[in-house]
């Protein structure tokens, strides 16, 4: 470590190492085929690939045009049926590469979300325990005025994750009902017009 690198507390360093292990395990458990797909997707996603495809298109069209001008039969005359099929096949493979890579990255995202959720629940439980201990200390300390704090009492009770999940689902369901558009008005035809 050089002098410009700040020294992090041990718990932050451990958190960083845990996240790095999560990513390393995800990449280590990839099959050879998954690694190949990841490399192919990375190659297709580079700006250089756009240039290569553009050069290929110009070479294909230009080669056919040059062959026609030179008096030879074009290998794929306009409207370029072979080229159309090749482009469609290439697009299919690129779409499959992207979908496969995205699916694998979604698995990593799900692991991160699960870790975040578990840490948030654990943090909430720890916070509730700290509030409970502070309230107990306040009640037991003769130098502090003993009073009832309803909000602190409520915060000292850890949240039930299932109850929170049910409340979230209910809130989303209510919001979706509010967002549903009203039935569209009937179109006016000669029978619906007043006249």
All structural domains of the chain with their residue ranges: 31-179
More confident residue, 74 or 88: 88
pLDDT confidence of 91, banded at 50, 70, 90?
very high
R_g of the chain, CA atoms, integer Å: 32
Q: Which two tokens stand for residue 50?
A: 């756009």
pLDDT of 189 higher than 80: no
Please enumerate in sequence order all residues whose Cβ is within 8 A of that of 144, keeping only pairs 6 or more positions apart, or say none. 138
pTM above 0.75, yes or no: no
What is the enclosing helix (H) or strand (E) of 113?
helix 81-140
Q: Which two tokens stand for residue 114?
A: 């699960």
The mean predicted confidence, pLDDT, of the chain is 82
Residue 96 confidence (pLDDT): 92
> Each residue of 106-148: pLDDT tens digit?
888 888 888 888 888 888 888 888 988 888 888 888 887 777 7
Mean pLDDT of 54-77: 90
Report the SS3 class of residue 35. helix
DSSP character for 79? T
> Each residue of 42-62: pLDDT tens digit?
888 899 999 999 999 999 999
Residue 195 confidence (pLDDT): 47
């Amino acid at each position: 470590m050089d002098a410009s690198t700040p020294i992090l507390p041990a718990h932050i360093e451990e958190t960083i190492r845990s996240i790095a292990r999560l990513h390393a395990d995800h990449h280590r458990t990839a099959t050879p085929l998954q690694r190949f797909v990841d490399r192919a997707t990375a190659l297709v996603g580079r700006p250089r690939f756009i240039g290569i495809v553009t050069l290929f298109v110009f070479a294909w069209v230009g080669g056919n045009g040059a062959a026609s001008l030179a008096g030879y039969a074009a290998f794929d005359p306009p409207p370029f049926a072979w080229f159309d099929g090749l482009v469609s096949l290439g697009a299919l493979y690129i779409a499959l590469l992207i979908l496969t890579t995205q699916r694998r990255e979604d698995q990593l995202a799900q692991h991160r979300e699960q870790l975040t959720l578990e840490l948030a629940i654990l943090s909430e439980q720890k916070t509730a325990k700290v509030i409970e201990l502070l309230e107990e200390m306040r009640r037991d300390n003769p130098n502090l005025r003993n009073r009832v704090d309803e909000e602190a009492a409520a915060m000292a009770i850890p949240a039930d994750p299932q109850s929170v999940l049910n409340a979230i689902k209910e809130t989303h369901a209510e919001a979706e009902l509010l967002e549903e558009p009203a039935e569209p008005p009937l179109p006016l035809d000669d029978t619906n017009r007043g006249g």
